[in-house]
Amino acid sequence: MTDRSTELPSECWELIFKFLDHHRHFEPLSLVSTQFLSMTNHLRRSLIISSRTSPFLPNIFQRFPNLKGIEIRESDEDLDYLLHQISNSGLDLESLTLTSQEQFSLMSLRELGLRMKNMRKLNCSETNCLQDTHLFEIGNSFPLLEDLNISFPQYNSRFDPIGSLDLQRFSGIVTDEGIIHLSMKLKSLLKIDLSGNHFITDKSLQFLSENCLLLREIFIRECDFITQNGIGSVMRRCINLNYISVDGIGIPSIELYFQESFVFAKKLCEINLSHSFISDELLSSIANACLPLKKLTICNCYDFTFVGVSYLLYKYQFLEYLDLEGANFLTDESMIDLSEFLRKLTFINLSLCSKLTSSTFFMLVSNCSSLKDIKMERTNLGVEEFLVDFGVNPCVMSLNLARNESLSDECIKKIAFCCPHLQELKISHCPTITEEGIIEVLRNCGEIRHLEMNRCSGIKCLDIDFELPKLEVVQAEGPVLDDEALVMIATRCRGLMHLNLEGCLNVTTKGVNGVVQCCRRLREINLKWCDNVKVDIIPRMVFSRPSLRKIIPPCRFIPTDKQNKLFLRHGCLVCRG
């Protein structure tokens, strides 16, 4: 057969391939021809290193010579060994993520810095035993860093009964000294996450605001010795600041310096004040600062009222993102008043607002024509306080309506009618929803790609008589599905890629076999606590479905080292159940 891909020059094909939103789409293309294989190899820009890929790193680096970003995740290999492999790969990396890793040596950082001269982004969040000495080396080795995440370091510390630190067992911490060194070395820094570093003080913020003049984004959550004055000084000195995230701040009415600092942050467009005391006076200060505010997060906050939030939203009617989770004073009537100011919203979170009912949901869908994402967990959704005229909103793409105990089939049908282009639906822990409601949603929302229905005890079977070619992710933990429903999903959703069946006691080997045979794109499946699935199916799954990349088997299956290596050679990581 003639290779018709040669009819277009490579440059044209590359332009076409660049429109694909994820490199996973390159895999089927690479099988078309050697030309496509070569082009997709050169177009790939990111790589996740796991236990599945780490044994083959030299070959992988040679295959993908234009990688710009690497993330190390779920790898059993020694971190220093992996960093050495990356340093000697010949790549020109710009981004490296080392989240939740064991402590790495200063030598590894130094070697990496010598080879990766253009590193712009480094993520070391949740790293074990991160210390000032690591920050000294980061500052010296990566002077061009623009984005640094050193949040929530993990320490093997021990406290005595009266709460003091046992220094004998404490291996080191991040202090002001390390942050000050970073501030003097990283002159191009645009973004830094200091969250969870409990021993830094306002002094760190002072030096960052004085030395990192380009700083745009700063995260300082759960930093016990950072005060409102320190936060205020950052807003006053960092003239380019456009995002600030803090939480747990004290009563702002006693800190006028903090309240009055917002007027200096002329470019601030995103504010996160979660889990804080935010009086109406503080909200009024933010409102009167006339900021170019686009995103506001005040979830689970205290001491503010409808008056404060109403005035703020009146002043910022161009707001696009609003998180009011836990604002229990909100009612359906008050949301009608607020909706007049929410015409530009694309995202809203009203979870844990227990007085809100279906009336609020349908009013938002009708009045806020730009809304794409609505989150209303643990509300009174399903109850309708008063009738609302509801219309169709084609913009709504994602709904998180989990843990609404009153959410009924009738309500979910109306929701499906209002949101015909829905792509993601989360209705886990909604016990009154049955298969009747789910089927109607799937029938009306043909664009749906992601469905979560964990622990929905009312769903017993799924008699689907239509195709769902775009559904890629199904989460169905608990006694939701049986073999018949599973085979029905497999038959109708042949593009399925991720399937979570954790705790599905009614699923057996027969149902899992049906999924593996029908779903040719299946990449991940979770069978943990599926006690009626025989463990001998695991090898057959790996060998019969080449697309599989990760299996969480039933708890009885513990693969040997020899089996693990065999599975990895077939490209599949089989975890412990």
Residue 129, phi-psi category: left (phi > 0), alpha (psi -120 to 50), beta (remainder): left
- Residue 5 scores a pLDDT above 80: no
* pLDDT level of residue 241 (50, 70, 90 thresholds): very high
The rounded distance, in Å, linking the Cα atoms of 284 and 259 is 9
Average pLDDT of the chain to the nearest whole number: 90
pLDDT band at 28; cut points 50, 70, 90:
confident
Contact at 8 Å (CB) between 528 and 504?
Answer: no
Asked if the model's pLDDT at residue 160 lies above 50, the reply is no
What is the rounded distance in angstroms from the CA atom of residue 437 to the CA atom of residue 142? 54
Range with the lowest mean pLDDT among 99-108, 205-214, 264-273, 515-524? 99-108
Structure tokens at 424: 């993601």
- Asked whether 67 and 42 are in contact (CB, 8 A), the reply is no
Residue 157: how many CB atoms within 10 A of its CB?
13
DSSP assignments along 446-459, one per residue: TT--EEE-TT-TT-
What is the Cα–Cα distance from 81 to 54, expressed in whole angstroms? 10
pLDDT for the residue numbered 156: 61
Q: Which residues pair with 574 in a beta bridge?
A: 551
- In this predicted structure, the answer to whether residue 325 has a pLDDT above a threshold of 50 is yes
Q: With bands split at pLDDT 50, 70 and 90, how would you rate the model's confidence at 30?
A: confident
Contacts 24+ apart (CB under 8 A), 403-407: 403/377, 403/378, 403/428, 403/429, 403/430, 404/376, 404/377, 404/378, 404/379, 404/380, 404/430, 405/430, 405/431, 405/432, 406/380, 406/381, 406/382, 406/432, 407/381, 407/382, 407/432, 407/433
**Quick one: pLDDT band at residue 39, thresholds 50, 70, 90?**
confident
From the list 350, 362, 346, 343, the residue with the least C-alpha distance to 325 is 350
- The whole-number pLDDT of residue 168 equals 43
pLDDT score at 296: 98
Percent of the chain with pLDDT over 70: 93
Q: Given this model, what pLDDT does residue 428 score? A: 97
What is 509-542 written as a DSSP string?
Answer: HHHHHHHHHH-TT--EEE-TT-TTS-TTHHHHHH
In this prediction, residues 173-199 reach a mean pLDDT of 96
Confidence of residue 383 (pLDDT cuts 50, 70, 90): confident
Cite the beta strand spans of 437-543 per DSSP E.
Answer: 450-452, 473-475, 498-500, 524-526
Asked if the model's pLDDT at residue 85 lies above 50, the reply is yes
pLDDT at 467 over 80: yes
- Residue with the two structure tokens 């796991």: 50
Q: Are 234 and 245 contacting, i.e. CB atoms less than 8 angstroms apart? A: no
**pLDDT of amino acid 4:** 54
Rounded to whole angstroms, the Cα distance separating 242 from 191 reads 10
What is the arithmetic mean of pLDDT over 414-419?
A: 95
Dihedrals φ, ψ of 373, to 5°? -140, 120
Phi, psi of 172 (to 5 degrees): 140, 155
State residue 37's pLDDT score. 81
Tokens 């065999």 locate to 566
Residues 6+ apart with CB under 8 A from 36: 5, 13, 29, 30
Q: How far apart are alpha carbons 336 and 299 in whole angstroms?
A: 20
Q: For residue 27, is pLDDT > 90? A: no
CB 206 within 8 A of CB 179: no
Six-digit token pair at 287? 């409102």
State which amino acid sits at residue 495.
Answer: G
Would the pLDDT of 165 be above 60? no
The model's pLDDT over 246-296, given as tens digits with 9 standing for 90+, comes to 988 765 545 688 889 999 999 999 999 999 999 999 999 999 999 999 999
Which of 80-84, 171-175, 370-374 is the least confident region?
A: 171-175
Given a cut of 80, whether residue 463 has pLDDT beyond it is yes
Q: What are phi and psi of 191, to 5 degrees?
A: -145, 135
Higher pLDDT residue, 257 or 451? 451
Q: What is the rounded average pLDDT of the residues 176-194?
A: 97
pTM assigned to the model: 0.90
